[in-house]
Structure 1
């Protein structure tokens, strides 16, 4: 007998018992409460989506491709879109990348899952920034790795710490976000990118370079990726979610060809291929429009919101509260005094009508109780002003 009168016994895999509990369910629940101003999520501003341009591209796909757009396709993705991505690596960054080095995925979140699947065995060491992206922590955890957090300094990952841990732990890969990191908002210096490449060179440790925010610098100027210095050891993911529309669920991974071949097999087993219709709409949209100017305008707008939020932090919050100073992206991070706990700020913030993201879920070593992530991209300037006023009341009450 495998069941009882009360019903069957559901025998989940062992990985379900080791996954960290997700804070996102609670976050989405409270953020949906009417009247809450949320700085807690990670959404782009929907008002900046090019609705008309995407509508026209969609109609063109139906008119020009008809039923073919609704058919199955190859696992590696729609080649015209991969060629556009490859060309943009050259026009934006001066990098010669072939369409054959690019795999289309269902948002870059799928790349996190599949890359961990093909590279990680239970007990393998994975390096991750401290703090690190929550979505990566959750995706990688399915494969039972041992996480080793790499602390930062003002330039990026601490190079001495990184070199030492690669020697002592033999990690399979280092996951990092050099551009406008989630959750901190910090960006690696060009010197540190070269140092990381030098440290990894000659080792078996790969770099997973997540470039979800690489086109959202406030000054519109691209930064050179680590991939430029070490192409044979770097997997680099990108996404249209932050710069066109997340609902299309289209991202990509650029990787060395042996890695990409294994990745392609894993993706085929997972879902056969990504949404062809979305890929064709994106291809049409990118061909018909000047996405670079639209993306630069988005970056400038986010920069204004970030500066407004940091000004309000300095004007309205206690002097004992520190903050990062992003030059791009969608997030910044607060550092709290020892007398305050991020979970308490979260709970009291909900009572005041403002949601923040406590730092705890971004740490794999029980840290984060003195940090809070704030998102500035999804709120209007009026909402930022009102929300920061509410957050200031939280800090005053706790003081």
Structure 2
């Protein structure tokens, strides 16, 4: 088949390929990035479905506006106001089919062949693939335990003049890091200084364990005059309500929203109106705070159990920062005591012991750190976590 040349820039997801190995009976998987389906508020979603069909079935089941179902846009604006984004009007956002589509629309509207895009090292694998599909030269900005190193980021922006900078500042995937308040403000200052778009991806910001994280970069933009003109923000219901609804949204300058809406018309016409109406009714019913409180408590317990087990069973053969939110532990193998130092090699040994995780290399756009790995604590209970990390200790 005469496939498009742009497909030469990408390959299938290493994570998706790993899932093919997980059919082995009894395997404990820390590989996925999924929320735990056992914690979905099924009753609340049922009530929201029934309300959507009872109150306006024609709108819920019919074609809709590409920009999104207006009652949902209103609820999302109110939801964001509760997180410090006080001046967001419903028309200031569009509804997307998951935040993944928002990122694709950003790539589609902004990236031409050879354009520079800066991402964190490491970052969400699918965005590397997405941006490369549109021809981007993807450049990595280093992170530390406090998120992207803004001094290095500034040098990279000045040197490469990128189309945009893509960040996951709050409990990022895969790193789990939390960008500090002063660095968030610095990012906004850099956006203005270099007139460079910042794309904030925020799928995990509501999944904090103890103290709430700093306000989102979007919320902080009100403190840095002019920065909103250089900021796009992507949100999603997938990690807190249900991935199956495929409801996300994008906040961006009006001209970018207009172009993204035009491109969305070409791809799916609109996000499922039925899913949007369901999400709108769920938010309207006020069930989200209780749902978030529950998942935060469960994930906090699992994150702590995984950290404790890693320290117990792998000791100085592994190093990591205990996560304060999100779904992941990001770790580095030290090779201490002659133990395995390569994440890919450990992944192969781990599968043989009946446990799976994702090696860290695919999360880097350039110069991967082969000693890294990502472990998700989201879908295994404490007993499974302890058993699975015990198996990992045997594999190393």
Give the alignment's TM-score, normalised by structure 1. Answer: 0.94
Question: Match of 2:359?
Answer: 358
- Does the alignment pair 1:272 with 2:263? no
2:325 is aligned, of 309, 323, 328, to 328
Instruction: Say what the alpha-carbon RMSD is for the aligned residues.
Output: 1.3
Paired with 2:273 and 2:211, the residues of 1 have a C-alpha distance of 30
Paired with 1:260 and 1:289, the residues of 2 have a C-alpha distance of 28
2:158 is aligned, of 152, 161, 167, to 167
1:186–1:325 Cα contact (<8 Å) kept: no
Question: Match of 1:156?
Answer: 147
Runs of 4+ residues deviating >3 angstroms: none
1:93–1:222 Cα contact (<8 Å) kept: no
2:74 is aligned, of 58, 74, 83, to 83
Shift of 1:226: 1.6
The 10-residue stretch of structure 1 (110-119 or 287-296) with the greater mean CA deviation from structure 2: 287-296
- Does the alignment pair 1:138 with 2:129? yes
Paired with 2:211 and 2:182, the residues of 1 have a C-alpha distance of 20
Query: Superposed, which structure 2 residues align to 1:265-344 within 5 Å?
Result: 265-338=262-335, 340-344=341-345
Shift of 1:345: 0.8
Paired with 2:211 and 2:67, the residues of 1 have a C-alpha distance of 30
Paired with 1:286 and 1:348, the residues of 2 have a C-alpha distance of 45
1:12 is aligned, of 3, 8, 13, to 3
1:361–1:368 Cα contact (<8 Å) kept: no
Shift of 1:24: 2.5
The 10-residue stretch of structure 1 (226-235 or 76-85) with the greater mean CA deviation from structure 2: 226-235
Paired with 2:38 and 2:286, the residues of 1 have a C-alpha distance of 18
Question: Match of 1:380?
Answer: 381
- Does the alignment pair 1:232 with 2:229? yes
Paired with 2:312 and 2:234, the residues of 1 have a C-alpha distance of 37
Shift of 1:40: 0.6
Shift of 1:222: 4.5
Shift of 1:245: 0.5
Tell me how many residue pairs correspond in the alignment: 386
Q: 1:137 to 1:95 in 2, by over 3 A?
A: same
2:164–2:196 Cα contact (<8 Å) kept: yes
SS of 2:24's equivalent in the other structure is: coil
Deviations 1:145-202 (A, max 9, x none): 1111000133321122111111111001010101001001111011110111112223
SS of 1:332's equivalent in the other structure is: strand
2:15–2:358 Cα contact (<8 Å) kept: no
Deviations 1:282-324 (A, max 9, x none): 1111112321121122112111110110011111103131012
Paired with 2:390 and 2:316, the residues of 1 have a C-alpha distance of 16
1:316–1:392 Cα contact (<8 Å) kept: yes
Give the alignment's TM-score, normalised by structure 2. Answer: 0.95
1:70 is aligned, of 43, 61, 67, to 61
- Does the alignment pair 1:218 with 2:219? no
Segments of 5+ residues of structure 1 without an aligned counterpart are: 1-9
2:203–2:239 Cα contact (<8 Å) kept: yes
Paired with 2:231 and 2:85, the residues of 1 have a C-alpha distance of 17
Deviations 1:209-244 (A, max 9, x none): 000001111126252122222221110010000000
1:218–1:300 Cα contact (<8 Å) kept: yes
